[in-house]
Structure 1
Amino acid sequence: MMLLLLALIYLAFISLGLPDAVLGSSWPVISQDLSTSLDAAGFVAVIVSAGTVISSLAATRIIQRFGTGKVVAVSVLMTAAALLGFTSANYLFVLVLLAVPLGLGAGAVDAALNNFVALHYKSKHMNYLHSFWGVGATTGPLIMATYLAVNGGWREGYAVLSAIQFALVIVLFATLPLWKKAITPTVSQEEESSSTAMISNRTALKIKGVKLQMLVFCCYCSLEAGTGLWAASYLTTEKGMLASDAAFWTAMYFLGITIGRFLCGMIADRFDEAKMIRYGAVIILLGVIGVLAPLPMVLNQWSLVLIGLGCAPIYPNTIHLTPKRFGAHASQAVIALSMATAYTGTTLVPPMMGFALDTLSFAYFPFILLLLSGVMLALSEKLNAFGSKTNADKNSTNEAQMGAESM
């Protein structure tokens, strides 16, 4: 039963990734079709991210009231409806309005499923979960690139994505009873009592180390989203690449994330999660340097894929360490806060990047990535050090309690 539910969760995360990279890869054509500027994509992204922040912060209460299954099903329905609306949008303000349900749906799914998997499944399943997000994030631009190659058919591309989402909605609503049946017999009494005593966001914010984790997610998601949103524009404006080819390499960036997370899932039982996070951050730095360096075009393109590979272990492993670092009773609130801060970063940084790049030059794009990757590496190292100290303190406490009991 748990394996069947896990497969359903994987499908839901594919749907979460499908629209994430499509806006950036299709925007060079959309902006021409709607007679708007390149940096307007940042404004649409702001609204999407604002919606995810709101729904992430509200996720703890909503999930406690309605349950994870219902929250996920309704959220995917909202994203499917929004994507359908994109197919008939003729003005920028219509896309802005549709970005609201698109963001609200994404934030709720992200917060709900991340905590659910962190509590009930092993580290490898968390990595696989986010690799399936990468499947969606890679498939979305590939679908869009196919339709862009045929007379710039971005509307048809969004229609296909919407149809896929609606098909998943049917599956999710049909399998709602599975959530209770699968979880009830497997959760221990200790976990049940922890779940009913989940703390609020405000209380979680006071826990030592939580703010540091929030900063890590803010910086990481700013880098990931900024790369996905502006890489295609950088390749078209600075490298002279066709829009369809730029969309393809954006998809390859997300494919790098996807393959990397599958690999992380395969080795998760044998490697320390904190070290995987460190190695990923270093690989990102190497990839950014490859994009920045005056190398042949093919090496610049593959350096974008290297950035994706480096991104792979950071998000899922930091999430999976949350219950260990802060306790199961606090994990939903801490993850909700982390998601909200992450999306705050994607709300503010990508449009700021777009404004700066449009005003100055898209040649500065890799320099911004270099700054973000360096700061993220420093913050993640500090968080890893905090996590190691916390685990050492817990072990010392447990040993002291065992010694007292033996006496």
Structure 2
Amino acid sequence: MSASLLVLSCLAYVSMALPDSVLGVAWPGMSVSLDQPIGALGLLLPFGVGAAVLSSALTGRLLSWLPLGRLLSGSTWLSVLAVVGYAVAPSFWGVVGATVLLGLASGAIDAALNAYAASRFSARQITWMHASYGLGSVVGPAVVTAVLSAELGWRLAYALVAGAQAALGCAFLLNTRRWAAARPRPLARPKGPAPRSGRGLVLGSVVFVLQMGVEGGIGLWGYLYLTSAQGLPADVAGLVVSGYWAVMFVGRLGLGQLAERVGIGPVLAASVAGIVAGTGAMAAPGPAPLAVGGMLLVALASAPVFPLLILTTADRVGPAQADRAVGAQMAAANGSNVLLPGTIGLLVERFDAAVIGPALLAVALAMAAAYALLARLHPARVPAVERG
């Protein structure tokens, strides 16, 4: 595999993270300009996630007749159009339209790159690609903060993001044929019967949904849990949540290399156990440092799970169905970003913030049970042929 295609894949993940991370920082100013309440931000989420779920689910079919390079290039330019839409939106519904376009573009890019990575990248490379999203999540808010501090307005911030994505779109356009030229090398198949694609796809999707539910649930509700249930000061809780994402970023940089040395199966098993242990520490009665340690353990343990599950998709469903399975799993993961954190929110409203820890533990235990079934059917391993 060409190193330039790996770099492009990582840059695409940085680019995808920029508009996602910009919105939360820019919204207070946007809401004033568009004459909307702060809470209207919550109305945008279903539009974006719904579009991303639809796009991810259809990407496998699109890849069966549309070359990967063209799909990536077209989706990136659609993303540019969406971000320009944010910059010039005259009303809230203009922002809604841009959000739908962005969801369609991001879902296609995400699923297409993961389908490519699943057949071409090593464990180290695919975790680096996913770590790049975390880098973009750091850069995006920093850009908006600098622009707003200079009193240049949120529209300029989106214009800058659109410029960065346009540069990536040009790079994809210039390298369209190179994606087609990089043919996947065959993976070593285990002895025994062929994978049961239906059962592997269902169990794999369930693990994706539950793992992303834990990861996203902490990202969304971790601050409230630390301040309201654990009594931490707001500034300390904010640092812990930032540390949560930082630990995940570092984990993705390093744990992929560990998977190449000891095997994907042991790393996934240890990660699932770490997620259960971390949420258990959050749910257990005890001092605040115990909950903080649990959150950071979940971040480290979660880091390699998503990319390594993507990498082993062909082992579960067979190479012929891998592209469509990746798209289906990405759609399930995107949907879980709304479903499970939203359910936890309803529990918080019904009870109080102390329910967050036990709720996350319950989801983690269900994930561990689903993964145990998946591992029995399709043991994860490192391909015998080195990729990349």
TM-score by length of 1: 0.77
Aligned to 1:396: none
**CA distance 1:213–1:102, change in 2 (3 Å):** same
Task: Give the letter for the 2:219 counterpart.
Answer: G
Q: Are 1:327 and 2:318 an aligned pair? A: yes
Identity of aligned residues (%): 26
Deviates more, 1:110-119 or 1:86-95: 86-95
Q: Secondary structure at the match of 2:65?
A: helix
**CA distance 1:224–1:151, change in 2 (3 Å):** farther
**CA distance 1:81–1:350, change in 2 (3 Å):** farther
Provide the C-alpha distance between the structure 1 equivalents of 2:160 and 2:140, rounded to a whole number of angstroms: 9
Provide the C-alpha distance between the structure 1 equivalents of 2:128 and 2:20, rounded to a whole number of angstroms: 18
Aligned to 1:227: 218
Instruction: Pick the aligned partner of 1:311 from 298, 302, 306.
Output: 302
Provide the C-alpha distance between the structure 2 equivalents of 1:362 and 1:348, rounded to a whole number of angstroms: 18
Provide the C-alpha distance between the structure 1 equivalents of 2:238 and 2:20, rounded to a whole number of angstroms: 13
| 8 Å Cα contact 1:223-1:373 kept in structure 2 | yes
Structure 1 residue 146: deviation in Å?
5.5
Provide the C-alpha distance between the structure 2 equivalents of 1:150 and 1:108, rounded to a whole number of angstroms: 35
Structure 1 residue 359: deviation in Å?
6.2
Deviates more, 1:29-38 or 1:129-138: 29-38
**CA distance 1:132–1:275, change in 2 (3 Å):** same
Structure 1 residue 318: deviation in Å?
0.9
| 8 Å Cα contact 2:60-2:326 kept in structure 1 | no
Q: Are 1:82 and 2:75 an aligned pair? A: no
Provide the C-alpha distance between the structure 2 equivalents of 1:61 and 1:387, rounded to a whole number of angstroms: 24
Provide the C-alpha distance between the structure 1 equivalents of 2:363 and 2:62, rounded to a whole number of angstroms: 33
Structure 1 residue 158: deviation in Å?
4.2
Q: Are 1:161 and 2:131 an aligned pair? A: no
**CA distance 1:316–1:41, change in 2 (3 Å):** same
| 8 Å Cα contact 1:15-1:165 kept in structure 2 | yes
Provide the C-alpha distance between the structure 2 equivalents of 1:113 and 1:301, rounded to a whole number of angstroms: 34
Identify unmatched segments of 5+ residues in structure 1. Answer: 192-203, 392-407
**CA distance 1:257–1:149, change in 2 (3 Å):** farther
Q: CA-atom RMSD, angstroms?
A: 3.6
Identify unmatched segments of 5+ residues in structure 2. Answer: 188-194, 382-388
**CA distance 1:220–1:52, change in 2 (3 Å):** same
Instruction: Pick the aligned partner of 1:339 from 330, 336, 349.
Output: 330
Provide the C-alpha distance between the structure 2 equivalents of 1:24 and 1:300, rounded to a whole number of angstroms: 26
Structure 1 residue 258: deviation in Å?
1.6
C-alpha offsets along residues 282-316 of structure 1, whole Å, 9 cap, x if unaligned?
A: 323344355555544x7755654433222111111
Structure 1 residue 142: deviation in Å?
4.5
Task: Give the letter for the 2:176 counterpart.
Answer: L
Question: How many aligned residue pairs are there?
Answer: 370
Provide the C-alpha distance between the structure 2 equivalents of 1:102 and 1:364, rounded to a whole number of angstroms: 34
Deviates more, 1:252-261 or 1:136-145: 136-145
TM-score by length of 2: 0.80
Q: Secondary structure at the match of 2:261?
A: coil
Aligned to 1:36: 37
Structure 1 residue 153: deviation in Å?
6.7
Alignment of 1:196-345 (within 5 A): 207-232=198-223, 239=232, 241=234, 250-291=241-282, 295-296=287-288, 303-345=294-336
C-alpha offsets along residues 188-232 of structure 1, whole Å, 9 cap, x if unaligned?
A: 6x79xxxxxxxxxxxx99623221111111112222233334445
